[in-house]
Amino acid sequence: MLDFLIVGQGIAGSILALQLLKRGKSIVVINNNQAHTASKVATGIYNPITGRKMVMSWKATILLPYLENFYQAMERTLGASFLHPLPMFRPFLTLQEQKEWRTKVLENGYLSFVEAIVNDEYHQENVVNQHGGVVLKQTGYLNIPLFLNATRSYLKVHNAYIEGSFVYNKIRFHSKSVTYQTMKARKIIFCEGIQAKQNPFFNWLPFRLVKGELLSVILPKPINVIYNRGVFVLPVGANKATIGATYDWHDLSCTPTEKARNTLEEKLTNLLKLPYEVVDHKAGIRPATLDRRPFIGLHPQYPHVGIFNGLGTKGVSLAPYLSEVFVNYLLSHGALPAAVQLNSVKRALYKTKLKRS
């Protein structure tokens, strides 16, 4: 009997599978390898300070150190190089912002993510920088396609990968296990990204999917920093960069749109002084949730069925640490944080409040 059957091999399923293998558990991953999944489209940036107001993101002081250790260890296990730590530069828009950051840097935890507050000469030849800016550390990106391919090869070597679509009504429940076709497992964990909306066990969860679009551009010279103001400019190899991203909660198709391209180009020209040529344009849907926290846990009525999903805009930074927390929970060594639990009281209250407002 298998310990775990995992459905989906995006960032969520891959990382959960690697964590379980590390703990000596027997697993099989079933994945239908769809083309435009969030993990395949995503840029893979990790960044502890996010949003228009640039605040420290949820659990950043735990997630960021954990993720760099995790992916570096996985580079050794999988024999591939997919993690690229890179500083991130955010130019200030006003002198007031510069002043606020000089105070903010002294606040709890921020210092560990700030490399320097720089003046208006920093990268002046590449980006608009009138008031200096902040250079962040513990930032960078994961080459997700490379990571997924390396994980898939590793799973295949361990006879732990099956390509195909999971058919929900073929699950059979027993007192201490489940069977699926010819496989018997202690538990099935769904890591299906946006496909969870079609999963009869979990389609009740309050997802709030959000489309994102990205451009690939060629630059006249290489850059060695991620620029981030309105859009990000992520260097991905010699003279190439990814520009992103947009957020659209209404159009949930994977088709790139002219509107998003125009938005990205307009923001890009406000930031970048270098000429560029657009060579590609992609779109994908993020498995985001109403309260911006992942969905992690076991089904309230079917305890042999679980979910690891809702990673939203931050799969790269959330999945490593939260998968370990989930594995501890699955192996009865720990509890799940209330914020990620499927039926937590706090989440229910939040939903009620949102409905009323």
Ligand X SMILES: Cc1cc2nc3c(=O)[nH]c(=O)nc-3n(C[C@H](O)[C@H](O)[C@H](O)COP(=O)(O)OP(=O)(O)OC[C@H]3O[C@@H](n4cnc5c(N)ncnc54)[C@H](O)[C@@H]3O)c2cc1C
The region of 16-24, 120-128, 258-266, 284-292 touching ligand X under the rule CB under 6 A is 284-292
38 binds ligand X (CB under 6 A): yes
- DSSP symbols for 146-162: HHHHHHHHHHHHTT-EE
Task: Show the binding pattern over residues 211-240: x = contacts ligand X (CB under 6 A), - = does not.
Answer: -x-x--------------------------
For the bound state, the minimum distance from the C-beta of residue 121 to ligand X, rounded and expressed in Å, comes to 28
The arrangement of strands across the sheet holding 231-235 comes to 114-118, 133-136, 88-91, 226-229, 231-235, 240-244, 210-218, 277-286
Q: Which is nearer to ligand X, 19 or 313 (CB)?
A: 313
Residue 339 near residue 293, CB atoms below 8 Å = yes
Residue 271 near residue 232, CB atoms below 8 Å = no
Distance CA 236, CA 140 (A): 11
The region of 50-58, 59-67, 192-200, 327-335 touching ligand X under the rule CB under 6 A is 192-200
296 binds ligand X (CB under 6 A): no
136 binds ligand X (CB under 6 A): no
Distance CA 160, CA 157 (A): 8
20 binds ligand X (CB under 6 A): no
SS3 198: helix
Q: Which amino acid is at 123?
A: H
61 binds ligand X (CB under 6 A): no
Residue 87 near residue 115, CB atoms below 8 Å = yes
306 binds ligand X (CB under 6 A): no
328 binds ligand X (CB under 6 A): no
Interface pick for ligand X out of 81, 124, 165, 203 (rule CB under 6 A): 165
Distance CA 172, CA 305 (A): 11
Q: List all residues 6 or more positions away from 326 whose beta carbon is below 8 Å from its beta carbon.
A: 16, 296, 297, 306, 308, 336
Q: How many positions of this chain bind ligand X (CB under 6 A)? A: 43
* Angle, helix 60-78 to helix 144-157, in steps of 10 degrees: 50
Distance CA 18, CA 124 (A): 42
Interface pick for ligand X out of 132, 140, 306, 312 (rule CB under 6 A): 312
Q: Which is nearer to ligand X, 26 or 216 (CB)?
A: 216
Interface pick for ligand X out of 21, 22, 23, 32 (rule CB under 6 A): 32
Interface pick for ligand X out of 49, 245, 296, 307 (rule CB under 6 A): 245
Strands 183-190 and 210-218: unpaired
Interface pick for ligand X out of 28, 136, 226, 316 (rule CB under 6 A): 316
Q: Which positions lie near ligand X, rule CB under 6 A? A: 7-13, 30-34, 37-39, 41-45, 165-166, 191-195, 212, 214, 244-245, 284-287, 309, 311-317
